[in-house]
């Protein structure tokens, strides 16, 4: 049993080979190569055997090698950069007004269906929009008339 800090990268390193052998056929054929490549990039992230930059101390001549990052959105280390950039863009787009944040998820009972029938996600998204609009318009009726927004889209 492993003791200490366990990372996502370590979990993938320890288990991805056997997982992929057993489950690769469950992924749509057009996605397999990309999914596999992204995991391999993540596993090689920061590995000096995949390329590196060297820094040399001019006093003691110690050499420090830093491996290149994978720059993959899938990587838990590199992906954080992309998420932070996305959040910054969203903050700039949000109006400076009171608002609600809604997250819609798909029950695990239906995930397989939507995974294999991605065209149905548009219908699901439209229904979620209807729910939010209906809810928001109901809430806006509770506000004073001068601060109401017409949220019908």
Nearest to 14 by CA among 39, 37, 50: 39
The reported pLDDT for the residue numbered 37 is 93
Residues 43 and 105 occupy one common structural domain: no
Residue pLDDT, tens place only, 131-142: 888 877 776 565
The reported pLDDT for the residue numbered 145 is 59
Domain count across the chain: 2
Taking a C-beta distance cutoff of 8 angstroms, is the pair 80, 70 a contact? no
Low-confidence ranges of the chain (pLDDT < 70): 1-2, 139-153
Instruction: Give the structural domain span for 113.
Output: 95-153
Beta-bridge partner residues of 65:
54
Three-state DSSP class for residue 67:
strand
Taking a C-beta distance cutoff of 8 angstroms, is the pair 67, 97 a contact? no
Residues 104 and 80 occupy one common structural domain: no
Residue pLDDT, tens place only, 24-34: 998 888 889 99
């Amino acid at each position: 049993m492993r003791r200490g800090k366990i990372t996502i990268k370590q979990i993938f390193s320890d288990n991805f080979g056997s997982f992929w052998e057993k489950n690769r056929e469950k992924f749509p054929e057009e996605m397999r190569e990309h999914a596999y490549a992204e995991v391999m990039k993540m596993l090689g992230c920061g590995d000096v055997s995949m390329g590196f930059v060297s820094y040399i101390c001019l006093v003691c001549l110690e050499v420090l090698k830093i491996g290149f990052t994978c720059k993959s959105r899938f990587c838990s280390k590199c992906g954080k950069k992309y998420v932070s950039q996305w959040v910054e863009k969203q903050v700039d787009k949000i109006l400076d007004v009171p608002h609600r944040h809604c997250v819609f998820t798909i029950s695990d009972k239906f995930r397989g269906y939507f995974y294999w029938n991605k065209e149905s996600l548009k219908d699901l998204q439209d229904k979620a929009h209807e729910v939010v609009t209906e809810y928001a318009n109901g809430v806006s009726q509770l506000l004073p008339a001068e601060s109401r927004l017409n949220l019908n889209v």
